[in-house]
Amino acid sequence: MNDTEMMKAANEVLGEVTKNWGWMLALGIIMVILGTVGLGMTFTLTMVSVLYFGVLLLIGGGVQIFDAFKCKGWKSILWHVLIGLIYVAAGIVIFNDPALASATLTLVIAGALVGIGIVRIIIAFQMRGVPGWIWTLIGGIAAIALGAMIFAKWPVSGLWVIGLFVAIELIFNGWSHIMIALAAKAASRALKEAGGEAAAAT
């Protein structure tokens, strides 16, 4: 496959992004900036994220309770309402004490990281001998180390971990958008140049 064919294939995959790559590039840059700013204010970002989660729980619980009134005759309606009430109660608890909620969520995240790390290490040893298996092992060790660090600093870590994760996600997502936008720009330019050369040849 020559360069022109590769660019055509890339153009088919990227679709309209090759025409509107500038918007995606701008979005990526904004995300990187927001993520970088977020690294300097992880406490605020953590509180905002937790409160946002609380809003979602309140809305979800309210909608579920409202829906229960349209489910007359259903044998599980009581449980349906109970789930909605639990959502609402959890949302209220979060709003009353977002710091406690963030500490609790952070504890769950730390436990999940340790669990994920253990599973990754098991997978790595099952894949031993396969090229690249060491990276799965390193990923597992890193996840356990990160979970252990969060546990060691808990409950103080609950004030910044969630915000840090959100900031890092914004940065990585932003760079992903930037790279896609630049690839789309390159594909668009290459196709235009190929079209111009073909027109000149005829």
- At 42-82, the pLDDT tens digits run 888 888 888 888 898 899 888 888 887 776 766 667 877 88
Q: How many CB atoms lie within 10 A of CB 3?
A: 9
Residue 58 has a pLDDT of 92
Backbone angles phi, psi at 94, to 5 degrees: -60, -45
In a domain, 6, yes or no: no
Domain containing 174: what range? 19-194
CA distance linking residue 199 with residue 193, whole number of Å: 10
Higher per-residue confidence, 119 vs 15: 119
In a domain, 151, yes or no: yes
- Sign of the alpha-carbon torsion through 26, 30, 36, 39: negative
The answer, yes or no, to whether residue 23 has pLDDT greater than 70, is yes
Domain count, the chain: 1
CA distance linking residue 40 with residue 163, whole number of Å: 10
In a domain, 7, yes or no: no
Q: How many CB atoms lie within 10 A of CB 112?
A: 12
